[in-house]
Amino acid sequence: MAEAERIIGTPDTPDAAGDGRERPSSEDTGARTGESGTAPTGAAAAGASGSDEPEAAAGPAPRGRRRIAVLFAVALFAYALDLISKLIVVAKLEHHPPIEIIGDWLKFEAIRNAGAAFGFGEAFTVIFTVIAAAVIVVIARLARKLYSLPWAIALGLLLGGALGNLTDRIFRAPGVFEGAVVDFIAPKHFAVFNLADSAIVCGGILIVLLSFKGLDPDGTVHKD
C-alpha cells in the first residue's frame, strides 16, 4: 500500500490537487490586472486624469464662440433688413399716398417718428438714443458668457433692432442724436412701426419666455 502511494503520489497542498498548473505569482497578477481594464493607481491614475483636464477645460470655449457667432449673425440680418427697408421707404414711399396691403387693415405709410417704438415719448428723443446705446453695450458684454442658442437669437434680435433705430437717431434729420426714426408698417387701429421695432419686440418676448422656463444665458437651467 505504501509502495503504491509512493508511485501514484499523494497531494500535500491544494495546488497539487488541481490540474497541475502553477499558481500565478503576485507580479503576474498585477500585470494581468492592468491588462484586464482595472482602474490604474498611482502615477498611471494621475497621468490619466491629467490628460482629461485640458479637454474638459477647452470644451465650453468653442461652443461659446459659436453662440456669439449666432448672436451677431442674427443681429446683422435684422439690422440689414431694417436698413434696406427704410432706404426703400424713403426713396419710394415718402411724400406719396399710403400703399394698401390688406385693405384698410394694413398699409405701408412713411412716417418720421421722433419718439420711442410705436411713436411713444416724442419729447425724449435724446434719452431714447442713450438707452439704445446702453442696450447695445450691455448685450456686447453679456455675449462673453453666452452659451445658450435661444438666448443668442433673442439678444441678436434686440441688438439688430437697437442698431437699426440708433442709426436713424444719429444720421437722420433734424440732427445728430435727435433724428427721427422711419416708420412705415401701419396696421389699422395701431401705432405705425418698422422692422427694427418688430425685432426688438420679438427678442423681448423670447427673453421673457426663456426666463419663465428658467433658462439662463450661460446655458444653465434653474427652477424657482
Question: Annotated catalytic residue: which of 183, 216, 218, 224?
Answer: 183
Residue 195 to residues 10, 22, 32, 53, 102: CA-CA distances in angstroms?
100, 85, 70, 46, 18
- 15 is annotated as an active-site residue: no
- Point out the catalytic residue in the list 197, 216, 218, 224: 197
The predicted structure's pLDDT at residue 111: 92
The pLDDT score that the predictor gives to residue 209 is 96
Active site (annotated) includes residue 52:
no
Q: Consecutive sets of 10 residues in the chain, 224 residues long: mean pLDDT of each? A: 46 45 48 45 44 47 84 97 97 93 93 70 69 89 90 96 93 86 93 93 95 90 76
pLDDT at 75: 97
Distance of alpha carbon 115 from alpha carbon 127, whole angstroms: 10
Provide the whole-model pTM.
Answer: 0.69
